[in-house]
Each structure stands twice: as structure tokens, then as C-alpha cells.
Structure 1
Amino acid sequence: MSAEAAAAAQAARGRQARRLDFRGQSGVVPLARDFARQALYAWGWLPAATADQRAAAEDVLLVVSELVTNACLHAEGPDELLIARDNKVIRVEVSDRGAGQPAPRTPHRAGRPGGHGMFIVQRLCLDWGVHRTPGRSGKTVWAELGAPA
């Protein structure tokens, strides 16, 4: 199946995806947020018709910011952002070359500066995790959020 046919089949099932390559880019956190915002507009999540839809879109932008920021702080920066959606879920993936394992800081202390990124991701998302490809360095940190009603 050609790439065009695969994309058409995914669109027919309601799945759409966009990728952003960060290599050679600077200012990657605002770049990632702008890219995600453009995807949300293209997919009809923005402008939001209701407060719940606006909150869902803001949650996506916050998760994108947190995952990209973590890649900058702990993994020499991100390589790629994938944002994909179907009718029920939006998935955010940030790939980097880091070997570390992200985890919410425990115990979480709200008044302490820093260390809130994965706690925020954990609280906002349906699920999240880390995917590693055997034989390759780096990882992909992914998170899934529910689509607004």
C-alpha cells in the first residue's frame, strides 16, 4: 500500500497524524506548541466551541510543552514530535536520544520549584509511557489524552 493510500485509509478511520522534526531547530518548546496548536486548528479542536473543548485543547498544549521541555532538560533535546488523533484519543510522542527514564517525582511537593512535568502529564492523561527500540539509543515518551465530547 502506498503512503498516500495508507494516509487516506487512516483518515477514513478518523486517524490523522503530524510530525515535526526538531533537528537543527532552536526554541523548540514554543515551536512545538505552535505546531500542536496548528494541528488542533486543522482537526477542529480549536477554536473551541465550549469550555470543555477549550480545556481539552489547553491540556494537549501543556502536555506537548512538558514532554518537549523534559527532553530538553534531561536528554539533550528532542528529535521529533508526533501528534496523532482519532475520534477518541489524541496521542503525543516526543522522541529523543536520552537513556533516562522519566517518572513523576515522588513525593510530589507542589510548593517546590521544578520537577512537576511528569506529574502534570500523569494527572492530565489517560495513559503515558516510554517506548524503546531494541538496538537503538534513545526513547519515545508518549501520552494519550481523551478527545473532547
Structure 2
Amino acid sequence: MSTTRQQQPGDLGPEPGDAGAAPAVPVPASPGVPGGAVRSLALGTASGIVPLARDFTRQALHDWGWLPAATADRRAAAEDVLLVVSELVTNACLHAEGPEELRVGCDGKVLRLEVADRGAGHPSPRTPHRAGRPGGHGMFIVQRLCMDWGVVRTPGSPGKTVWAELAAPA
């Protein structure tokens, strides 16, 4: 079950060309999204990073036909994507010296989210998970909502990329 707020009509994130929005930059397909559509957003110097990442992702979902959602299941799938984006970006802010870039890719069957950061740590769900305690739920949420997730490091480079994959709605 998603916990993100219900979107109002027309609340689809920044419009193309909006002065406050970072432009979508076409990048090569990610490993989990062969030949699919991929968008990239630089986050390194932005303020309000989590809402910016959610708005950017919401606009991609709209452009790819996930939004506006025709059914409750499709709406829940889109809300899950936005929640996972929030958790990955927040985790990078809190534990990884901040996010550098968000990549969102979709091949029609799988939606892949990637957050590149400067941190050396390795994210993992807190165990044992204690639902009633504040904090420490981000990667547990990612694990529960996603088909798969992981961490990719580039040898000789600082930081890492944390990725997560969700099934596209039927």
C-alpha cells in the first residue's frame, strides 16, 4: 500500500521549459532498461532535492502514459514509484553525502530508478525492522515495493549508484 499523497488534476510536476526545473537529458539506456526511455536529472547543487526528484519522476510517468492513471492499480503503481524515488533520494541525503543524479528508465515492462551519490557506505534494510519506531524504514520500503534493488560501484571512482526496479502496470 502506498502512502504518498493523492495528486490533484494538473499536478504533474514541472512543465517542460519551466525555469525552476532541470531539463531532461537523454542518456544511454541503463543496464536494466535495454533500449528503453531514460531520463536524467542532476541533483548535486539543487535545493529541495526530494520534491524536485519526485516532480521530475512524476513528469516522466505522465509522459510515458503511467499518469493520469485509469485504474486504482495503475495509480498505486505510480505512487509506489514516487515513494521509492523519495526513499532513495532521502537515503542519499542522509547517509551518502548527498545525491548527484537521478536516472529514471522504462522499457515498457520494468521501471528502473537509479540514484548516484558520493557516499562510501552500503545501504541495507535495518534489521530487525521495527515498524513502530521512527526512522530506518527507507530501504525496507524499497525492498518491499521493488522487484529488485542493488548497488553498483565504479572501480576507482568515489560514490555509488543505488538502483531499484519496479514492474510497469499491466
| TM-score between both structures, scaled by the size of structure 1 | 0.91
Q: Which amino acid aligns with 1:77?
A: G
* Structure 2 residue corresponding to 1:127, chosen from 148, 158, 161: 148
1:83 aligns with 2:104: yes
3-state SS of 1:35 partner: helix
Distance 1:61 1:14 in 2: 23
Which residue in 1 is equivalent to 2:95? Answer: 74
Distance 1:65 1:21 in 2: 15
Which residue in 2 is equivalent to 1:29? Answer: 50
Which residue in 1 is equivalent to 2:82? Answer: 61
3-state SS of 1:109 partner: coil
- Tell me by how many angstroms 1:98 deviates: 0.1
- Tell me by how many angstroms 1:87 deviates: 1.4
Are the aligned partners of 1:29 and 1:69 in contact in 2 as well (CA < 8 Å)? Answer: yes
Are the aligned partners of 2:117 and 2:159 in contact in 1 as well (CA < 8 Å)? Answer: yes
Deviating 4+ runs (over 3 angstroms): none
Q: Deviations over 1:44-72 (max 9, x none)?
A: 00000011100000000000000000000
Which residue in 2 is equivalent to 1:148? Answer: 169
Q: How does 1:32-51 map to 2 (within 5 A)?
A: 32-51=53-72
Which residue in 1 is equivalent to 2:121? Answer: 100
Task: Name the Cα RMSD after superposition.
Answer: 1.5
Unpaired runs of 5+ in structure 2? 1-25
> Which protein has the bigger helix share?
1
Aligned length: 140
- Tell me by how many angstroms 1:117 deviates: 0.2
Identity %: 76
